[in-house]
Chains A and B, each alone.
Chain A
Amino acid sequence: MTDAAKPAGKPFDPAHFLRNQLRNIAPLITLIALFVFFSVASPSFMTLDNLANILAQVSLTSIIAVGLTFVILTGEIDLSVAAVANAIGIVMAFLTLQPDYANIQNLPMPGPVAVIVALIACGLLGLVTAFGVTRIGIPSFIMTLAMMQIAAGISAMLVRGQIAYKFPVIIQVLGSGKYFGLRWLIVVAVLVLLIAHLVLTYTRFGRYVYMTGGNRDAAEYSGVNVKFIIGAVLVISAMLSGFAGMLGVAYFGSAQQNQFDTFLLDAIAAVVVGGTSLFGGRGGIGNTIIGLLVLGVLNNGLDHVNIDSFLKILIRGLILLIALIINVYAQKMRDSSAATE
Chain B
Amino acid sequence: MIPPETAHAGSASPLLELKNVSKSFGGVSALRDVDFDVARGEIHGLVGENGAGKSTLMKIIAGMHHDFQGQMLIEGREVRFRNPHDSLALGIGMVHQELSVAPDLTVAENVFLGTQPTMWRGVIDWAGMAKAARKQIASLGLDIDPRTRMGSLPVGIQQLVELSRVLFSGARIIILDEPTSALSPPEVDRLFRILRHLRKERRSLIFISHFLEDVLAISDRVTVFRNGRNVATVDAAATSKDQLISQMIGRGAKELSAGESAELTGSGSKPVVLAAQKLSQGSLLKDVTFDARAGEILGIYGFMGCGQIELARCLFGKLPPDSGTVMLQGNLLPLTSTVAARQAGIAYVPENRRMMLFPTEPMYKNISISILQGIHRLWLKPQAERDIAQRHISDLQIRPANVEMRVGQLSGGNQQKVALAKWLTDKPKVLILSEPTRGIDVGAKEDVIRIIRALRDQGVAVVVLSTEPETILTLADRVVVMKRGRVVKAFEEGHVEKADLLAAA
Q: Which residues of A contact B (CB under 8 A)?
A: 5-9, 202-204, 206-208, 211, 214-215, 217-225, 227, 281-282, 334-335, 338-339, 341
Contact = CB atoms under 8 A, between A and B. Distances in A.
A12 to B, nearest CB: 14
A7 B358 contact: no
B379 A203 contact: yes
Interface in B321-360: 337-339, 341-343, 348, 350, 354-360
A221 B404 contact: no
A258 to B, nearest CB: 38
Contacts of A206: 380
B432 to A, nearest CB: 11
Interface stretch (B105-113, B128-136, B222-230, B370-378): B370-378
B357 A215 contact: yes
Contacts of A203: 376, 378-380
A211 B362 CA distance: 12
Contact of B338 (A7, A8, A211, A221): A221
Interface stretch (B141-149, B155-163, B405-413, B437-445): B405-413
A215 to B, nearest CB: 5
A211 B369 contact: yes
- 8 residue pairs, one from A and one from B, having the closest CB atoms: A223-B342, A338-B408, A221-B356, A222-B370, A5-B404, A341-B409, A225-B339, A222-B369
The contact size tier of chain B is: 35 or more
A320 to B, nearest CB: 25
B289 interface: no
B408 A341 contact: yes
A219 B369 contact: yes
Nearest to A217: B355
B374 to A, nearest CB: 10
A200 B370 CA distance: 18
User: Is chain A's binding surface mostly helix, strand, loop or mixed?
Assistant: helix
A178 B326 CA distance: 63
Contacts of B350: 221
A8 B365 contact: no
Contacts of B361: 211, 214
B362 to A, nearest CB: 6
B225 to A, nearest CB: 32
A203 B375 CA distance: 11
A339 B318 CA distance: 27
A203 B373 CA distance: 11
Given A9-B402, A207-B365, A222-B422, A215 B358 contact: yes
A218 B408 CA distance: 13
Given A8-B404, A9-B402, A218 B356 contact: yes
Nearest to A5: B404
Contact of B372 (A204, A214, A227, A281): A204
Contacts of B337: 225, 227
B10 interface: no
Given A7-B409, A218-B369, A338-B359, 15 more contacts: A7-B404, A9-B402, A203-B379, A203-B380, A204-B378, A214-B361, A218-B355, A219-B369, A221-B355, A221-B356, A222-B422, A223-B343, A227-B337, A335-B360, A338-B409
Contacts of A211: 358, 361, 365, 369
A218 B365 CA distance: 12
B404 A214 contact: no
Contact of B318 (A7, A214, A220): A220
B259 interface: no
Contact of B405 (A7, A225, A227): A7
B375 to A, nearest CB: 8
B216 to A, nearest CB: 40
Given A335-B360, A338-B409, A9 B370 contact: no
Nearest to B313: A221
A157 B6 CA distance: 82
A8 B362 CA distance: 12
Interface in B368-422: 369-370, 372-373, 376-380, 400, 402, 404-406, 408-409, 422
5 contacts: A207-B369, A214-B361, A215-B359, A225-B337, A334-B360
B378 A218 contact: no
A299 to B, nearest CB: 33
Contacts of A334: 360
Contacts of B405: 7
B338 A223 contact: yes
Nearest to A335: B360
Contacts of B402: 7-9
B373 A204 contact: yes
Contacts of B316: 221
Contacts of A7: 400, 402, 404-406, 409
Nearest to B342: A223
A108 to B, nearest CB: 39
Contacts of A339: 359, 408
A211 B356 CA distance: 11
A90 B292 CA distance: 60
Most buried by B among A6, A208, A223, A339: A223
A237 B360 CA distance: 26
Given A5-B362, A211-B361, A338-B406, A221 B379 contact: no
B369 A224 contact: yes
Contact of A220 (B338, B372, B373, B377): B338
A220 B343 CA distance: 13
A219 B342 CA distance: 12
Nearest to B316: A221
Nearest to A206: B380
B253 to A, nearest CB: 40
A214 B378 contact: no
Given A5-B404, A9-B400, A223 B360 contact: no
Which of A8, A202, A215, A281 has the most CB atoms of chain B within a 10 A radius of its CB? A215
Contacts of A208: 372
A217 B356 CA distance: 7
